[in-house]
Amino acid sequence: MAARCLRNPGRFNLVNEGTELAIRIGQLEDSALRARPLGWYERVFVASKDYLAKRGVPQTPDDLRDHDCIIYTLLSSGATWRFRDAEIPISGRLRVNSPDAVSAAVAAGLGVAHGPAWLFQDGLNSGRLQFILSNHTAPPVPVQMVYVANRLLPTRAIVFMDFMADVFSRIPALNGSMPVPTR
């Protein structure tokens, strides 16, 4: 089994690539694949205190229509942010393809961002960023090991999945035991 790490690959096709296993973050949409859950994380909404002082604090998801949102271009939902009770089309002047760029942009006061709390931890700890829309949560995001459903997996792949499931089960941010502050 050849290991392959892709920094920003977008989505590649396991069937066409001949790949045995991959880790996918997000909802599984391809019916030719099966998934083994590894964990999940909660998404939070944040902005810098400077940005909020200039633009105001959004109180509802609909308020995001009047804000500059930092758009992460590799997000499968595109320029739509999902909440448990709504899907909101968002817009913004900045589009990035790196989670680190999202974190840096929100810390620089360029707009509102969303993602896992750990992505924004430095800014939250320093007090530069604050949580917003905490009464309007997003659905949790699954992290899963995927493989082609109609392909027989070799023993080495099954052992590797077991190993990865054990490793991921010990990461608090991926198993629901890391609390996300509400304010």
Per-residue pLDDT of the chain (183 residues; tens, 9 = 90+): 444 444 444 556 666 667 788 888 888 776 678 889 999 988 899 999 999 999 999 999 999 999 999 999 887 777 889 898 889 999 999 999 999 999 999 999 999 999 988 899 999 999 999 999 999 988 888 999 998 888 788 899 999 999 999 999 988 888 765 445 544
**What is the C-alpha separation between 67 and 113, in angstroms, rounded?**
10
For residues 129 and 47, is the Cβ–Cβ distance under 8 A? yes
SS (H, E, C) the chain: CCCCCCCCCCCCCHHHHCCCCEEEECCCCCCCEEEEEEEEECEEEEEEHHHHHHHCCCCCHHHHHHCCECEECCCCCCCEEEECCEEEECCCCCEECCHHHHHHHHHCCCCEEEEEHHHHHHHHHHCCEEEECCCCCCCCEEEEEEEECCCCCCHHHHHHHHHHHHHHHCCHHHECCCCCCCC
Q: Do residues 97 and 79 both lie within one domain?
A: yes
For residues 107 and 124, is the Cβ–Cβ distance under 8 A? no
On whether residue 155 sits in a domain, the answer given is yes
Q: Do residues 96 and 145 both lie within one domain?
A: no
On whether residue 2 sits in a domain, the answer given is no
On whether residue 160 sits in a domain, the answer given is yes
Q: Do residues 103 and 37 both lie within one domain?
A: no
On whether residue 181 sits in a domain, the answer given is no
Range of the domain at 33: 14-41+140-174
Q: Do residues 48 and 118 both lie within one domain?
A: yes
Q: How far apart are the first and last CA of the chain?
A: 45
Q: Do residues 108 and 58 both lie within one domain?
A: yes
Containing 105, the helix (H) or strand (E) segment is helix 99-107
**What is the C-alpha separation between 143 and 171, in angstroms, rounded?**
12
When divided into structural domains, the chain yields a total of 2
The last residue of one of the domains, among 98, 114, 132, is 132
Q: Do residues 124 and 64 both lie within one domain?
A: yes
pLDDT at residue 14, as a whole number: 67
Q: Do residues 47 and 127 both lie within one domain?
A: yes
The answer to whether the predicted template modeling score (pTM) of the entire model surpasses 0.75 is yes
pLDDT at residue 12, as a whole number: 62
pLDDT at residue 32, as a whole number: 77
Q: Do residues 121 and 150 both lie within one domain?
A: no
**What is the C-alpha separation between 24 and 6, in angstroms, rounded?**
12
